[in-house]
Amino acid sequence: MDAAPISPRIRLTAVDAGYAGRPVLREVTVDVPALGVTSLIGPNGSGKSTLLAVVAGVIRPTSGTVRHEGGLPPAFVPQRSAVSDALPLTVRRTVEMARWRVRGPWRRLTKSDHAAVDEALERLGVARLASRQLGELSGGQRQRAFIAQGIAQRSDLLLLDEPCTGLDPESRYGIERLLAEVAAEGVTVIQATHDLAAARAGRHCLLLREGRLEAAGPPSDALAAASLAASGLTGRDAANTV
């Protein structure tokens, strides 16, 4: 007997989106299944970051619809380079910002909020760095702090833009393992990635090219040689980066 289909967590219908004078996404229609890890892959400039921002609600589509099938606001972790090193924030204050989004900026954090922050710091291995300034951290430490912020929001939808870019293999493996654990706990994870191995390890994959959806489905289907070739991802590129 075939397994029951997985309900969608996100449903995009004919979505166009972009920036002033620069369209990026074109007629994207796709269901992102609930639970598991969905990877967004494609060449640089294919629209991966824009698609995440649309799902997060940071960018509004110029046309089409985005429907969320869950009741919690998404937790969005942008690229590490999107946040200035000059911000005078400690690691703990950075992670606490996740709870302010839930609680409201002018309300005091509760015991439950502090527990969520403590748990996220521990899970990402940055509890001992809680009092350090972001600008004092290594790239891997800083990235783990931002992912801890996403985890601390306790959403059922976690969006990450290139969470492992620029990290050493040990750090990448640790983050990939954590994302798999979070998904197993009932969270839908969507990550933009340049790592084909990470994409193959997930449950679902979306392949973008020039703002259009080239393929969608299980990694074995979406990453088929024909799809990669159609997106210009062949040879060395396909082996090492998307």
Structure tokens at 77: 């972790």
| Domain 1-74+157-169+190-242, classified CATH 3.90.226.10, yes or no | no
Give the span between the Cα atoms of 160 and 72, in whole angstroms: 16
**Phi, psi for residue 140 in degrees, rounded to 5:** -65, -40
pLDDT tens, per residue, the chain with 242 residues = 445 567 899 999 999 999 988 999 999 999 999 999 999 999 889 999 999 999 999 999 999 999 998 778 999 998 865 566 667 889 999 999 999 877 776 778 999 999 999 999 999 999 999 999 988 988 888 889 999 999 999 999 999 999 988 788 888 888 899 999 999 999 999 999 988 888 999 999 999 999 999 999 999 998 885 566 666 665 444 544 44
Q: Exposed/middle/buried for 53, CB within 10 Å: 0-12, 13-18, 19+?
A: buried
CATH 3.40.50.300 region(s) of the chain? Answer: 1-74+157-169+190-242
229 sits in which H/E element: helix 225-230
pLDDT at 241: 43
Residue 108's pLDDT is 87
Indicate the angle between helix axes 111-123 and 139-152, nearest 10 degrees. 140
User: Tokens representing 141?
Assistant: 């430490």
**Dihedral (CA of 120, 172, 155, 18) sign:** positive
